[in-house]
Structure 1
Amino acid sequence: MTKVSMRVNGRPVSAEVEGRTLLVQFLREGLGLTGTHVGCDTAQCGACVVHVDGRATKACNVFAMDCDGAEVATIEGMAAPDGTLSPIQQAFQDHHGLQCGFCTPGMVMSAAALLDENPRPTEAEVREYLEGNICRCTGYHNIVKAILAASGQPVAVAAE
């Protein structure tokens, strides 16, 4: 067992974990933050995307102990303390960027990372950035529209 300490959604957390404990397991089972989904366990689908020290990271592909001392942000930390949705979450809602919702947390976290890196991406840049996130329901058009809307760009030109 190894002691890990990190900040998750701005709160300090510490726990003893086995060396093989994945970050996604630590978040879901250890901290009860079940918004980070487990889809494929092979880093292919993107349902488990979180931010580790500000970078989009597939939590099924990193050990919890490798995040010792890190700042981790999950979908639960995106909304304001009063429950007000973040601009990206609101855009997903406004532009119907979700259907079943399984991929949505990973998509939102990936979108946030993209907009941090590139505040006004083109449609092509959004689509390329999301290549590591799989959605089986939406066809991606409304997800792209939502991300462009969250960037402050007109949606009428998006994914038409």
Structure 2
Amino acid sequence: MKIVLQRVSSASVTIEDKVVADIQKGLLILVGIEDTDGQEDIDWLVGKITKIRVFDDENHVMNLSVQDIDGDIIVVSQFTLHANTKKGNRPSYIKAAKPDVSIPLYENFVKKLDIELGKKIQTGVFGADMKVSLLNDGPVTIIIDSKNRE
């Protein structure tokens, strides 16, 4: 699994002119799932996301986690994170998992975040044409790949 984690002052997801997710201070997480991903990838990423210190403490040092600040999270599925751009000008998405694999993993990922944070995680709609708005705070944007955890 590959994620793009962004520290935001606010973020929202709109589908067909209807806001389906809306947060203030917290994290916007774009998640891409590939065929080889499983529960171990979910467990590792959720542990990393809930503890990563990307929010400022009283000394303006990134020393606090989303849990520490009681921040919110929006998770948006994004298969394009697995784009292969080595050949030609049209990206290949061959590594991205098909919906029969990716939907259950995506749902388990969101559920595990819900449980770990003890609050409802907001989401986009899997496979929908979404408009994602955010006010990136910092900016702080971090790419994390569960296959590069060693």
* TM-score relative to the length of structure 1: 0.24
Question: Which has more helix, going by share of residues?
Answer: 1
Question: Which has more strand, going by share of residues?
Answer: 2
